Amino acid sequence: MSLKPQLYTYKLGLIFISLFILFACVPFKKPPPALIRVKKWPPLRRPSDMKAFNAALDRSLHYCSRLPADYTFWINNLPYTARELEADLETLKYCLNQADWQKCLKSHFVLYQARGLKKKEVLFTGYYQPVLHAALSPSKRYRYPIYRLPDEWIKIDLRRFGHDLPAKTLIGMVKGHEVIPFYTRAEIDFAHKLMGKGYELAWVDDPIELFFLHVQGSGILVLPDGQKLYVHYAASNGRPYRSIGRIMREWRLLDDNVNGLRIKEFLRNHPEMMQKVFAFNESYIFFKLVPKGPLGAINEVLVPYYSLATDPSVFPRGAILFVDTEIPKVDEKQHFLGWQPFKTIAFSQDTGGAIKGPGRADIFFGTGPIAEAQACYMAQKGKLYLLVGGKHEK
């Protein structure tokens, strides 16, 4: 009998023991509450598109119905079960059908405001569902692969090795006798570390659009015969997400007025800079084929304007939000026309690599050129609130 499997298990065990000792000795400082209980409500607005809004609400309800009744979220260290969230969603639906709907909401819910980046300000950005031309086999035109989750990818959840360890997940792969970080974007796309291993789902014809597919997390692939395939986020390589817009400003490739459309334009005019710019963002996304999309983190199709990506450690998935900010006005040629108020009840239905903490949120704008332009221009401060049933207050 070969000793290799036993040796492999023994070496992984030593690695986990070392991680346990390392993190068990680290002191942790309790952070301030991410959400602040407020009694003065902001001026509320009924959703402008009730059909779309109700679709988003029903998808949060459907998500809750799939969870165990005692499944527990946490709001400022207070438990909030899936059944409590489901009841709150039903109450929201009831209140919005009442003549005095604002009074109804205020009588049934308590309000938390996101602490924000500073002065309770939240930075709202946007995302959309890109459409790419693709093929199921490589060719001179279709040269850029979309990868599924590689077999060598492994995940280590530290919480499984001790309750006193931090809630941290490590992504890596085994090399020799140790676990090391997974390949970077540069190693995958430019050193071709995964090429030829059978992990390709499809090939696309545009590396710039492919990079933005990674940023957005899901998209539509249009095959040469017109067939459409939906791809969705499966996992990442565990490397940190780094904004190429920020580094392009620092490198003085673009001025302060940076957005996705200007980034694309610059890279199409300066293809020699593409590798350097893309490699700066080490984060890499692996995809899977899904029957419909775009799917959020609650495994439901996102609804434009009413589905937001937030940090699930702050805002429970599927939860009720109130957004107070501005969004871009654009025309069919993707020209920016100014800002318009955006105040609406919405839902926490997705997550994102750059959406961390109580000071960030991402608004889903939909599919097509206008949605793309709105998402690319969107970078506006505002306020974000969480509505929770009154019995949650303690």
Q: What is the pLDDT of residues 344-386, one digit of tens each?
A: 999 999 998 789 999 999 999 999 999 999 999 999 999 999 9
Task: Give the model's pLDDT for residue 129.
Answer: 96
CA 345 to CA 331: how far, in whole Å?
25
Both tokens of 389, joined, read 């049933």
Do residues 364 and 341 make contact, with C-beta atoms less than 8 angstroms apart?
no
Query: Are 267 and 136 part of one and the same domain?
Result: yes
Tell me the CA distances in angstroms from 95 to 106, 186, 327, 349, one per residue in order.
Answer: 10, 51, 26, 21
pLDDT value at 8 more than 50:
no
pLDDT bucket at 163, cuts 50 / 70 / 90: confident
Q: What is the mean pLDDT of residues 139-162?
A: 94
Query: Are 305 and 286 part of one and the same domain?
Result: no
pLDDT bucket at 1, cuts 50 / 70 / 90: very low
Query: Are 179 and 145 part of one and the same domain?
Result: no
pLDDT value at 44 more than 60:
yes
Select from 256, 290, 324 the last residue of a domain: 290
Helices and strands, counts by H and E, the chain = 10, 19
What percentage of the chain carries pLDDT values higher than 70?
A: 91
CA 133 to CA 148: how far, in whole Å?
18
Q: What is the pLDDT of residues 237-289, one digit of tens each?
A: 999 999 999 999 999 999 988 999 999 999 999 999 999 999 999 999 999 99
Residue 206 φ/ψ, nearest 5 degrees:
-140, 110
Task: Give the model's pLDDT for residue 16.
Answer: 54
pLDDT bucket at 202, cuts 50 / 70 / 90: very high
Q: What is the pLDDT of residues 120-147, one digit of tens each?
A: 999 999 999 999 999 999 999 999 999 9
Domain region containing 157 = 1-30+152-193
CA 209 to CA 131: how far, in whole Å?
8
CB atoms inside a 10 Å sphere around CB 74 = 11
Task: Give the model's pLDDT for residue 24.
Answer: 52
Q: What is the mean pLDDT of residues 181-207?
A: 97
Both tokens of 22, joined, read 């390392």
Query: Are 144 and 237 part of one and the same domain?
Result: yes
Q: What is the pLDDT of residues 68-119, one digit of tens each?
A: 989 999 999 899 999 999 999 999 999 999 999 999 999 999 999 999 988 8
Do residues 58 and 50 make contact, with C-beta atoms less than 8 angstroms apart?
no
Identity at 279, one-letter amino acid code: A
Query: Are 223 and 95 part of one and the same domain?
Result: no
Query: Are 330 and 369 part of one and the same domain?
Result: yes
Task: Give the model's pLDDT for residue 4.
Answer: 47
Task: Give the model's pLDDT for residue 121.
Answer: 95
pLDDT bucket at 339, cuts 50 / 70 / 90: very high
What percentage of the chain carries pLDDT values higher than 90?
A: 83
Helix, strand, coil percentages, rounded to 5, for the chain: 30, 30, 40
For 127, counting Cβ atoms within 10 Å of its Cβ (0-12 exposed, 13-18 middle, 19+ buried), the class is buried
pLDDT bucket at 3, cuts 50 / 70 / 90: very low
CA 23 to CA 162: how far, in whole Å?
10
Query: Are 22 and 160 part of one and the same domain?
Result: yes
Select from 290, 317, 349 the last residue of a domain: 290
Query: Are 301 and 379 part of one and the same domain?
Result: yes
Both tokens of 268, joined, read 């199409």
∠26-32-36 over CA atoms, to 5°? 155
Task: Give the model's pLDDT for residue 292.
Answer: 93
pLDDT bucket at 2, cuts 50 / 70 / 90: very low
Query: Are 98 and 246 part of one and the same domain?
Result: no
Number of domains in the chain: 3
CA 85 to CA 317: how far, in whole Å?
10
DSSP E strands: which ranges in 8-53?
Answer: 35-38
Task: Give the model's pLDDT for residue 313.
Answer: 94
Task: Give the model's pLDDT for residue 7.
Answer: 46
Do residues 84 and 389 make contact, with C-beta atoms less than 8 angstroms apart?
yes
What is the domain-level CATH number for residue 112?
Answer: 2.40.40.10
What is the domain-level CATH number for residue 224?
Answer: 2.40.240.50
Query: Are 376 and 260 part of one and the same domain?
Result: no
CA 316 to CA 63: how far, in whole Å?
12
Select from 242, 271, 290 the last residue of a domain: 290
Query: Are 342 and 330 part of one and the same domain?
Result: yes
Task: Give the model's pLDDT for residue 13.
Answer: 57
Q: What is the mean pLDDT of residues 152-164?
A: 89
Task: Give the model's pLDDT for residue 87.
Answer: 97
User: What is the overall mean pLDDT for the chain?
Assistant: 91
Query: Are 145 and 283 part of one and the same domain?
Result: yes
pLDDT bucket at 343, cuts 50 / 70 / 90: very high
CA 336 to CA 339: how far, in whole Å?
9
Tell me the CA distances in angstroms from 65 to 60, 84, 135, 273, one per residue in order.
Answer: 9, 11, 37, 48
CA 341 to CA 42: how far, in whole Å?
14
∠120-121-125 over CA atoms, to 5°? 145
Least confidently predicted of 1-5, 89-93, 111-115, 320-324: 1-5
pLDDT bucket at 41, cuts 50 / 70 / 90: very high
Task: Give the model's pLDDT for residue 210.
Answer: 98
Residues whose CB falls within 8 Å of the CB of residue 133, separated by 6 or more in sequence, listed in order: 142, 204, 205, 206, 221, 222, 224
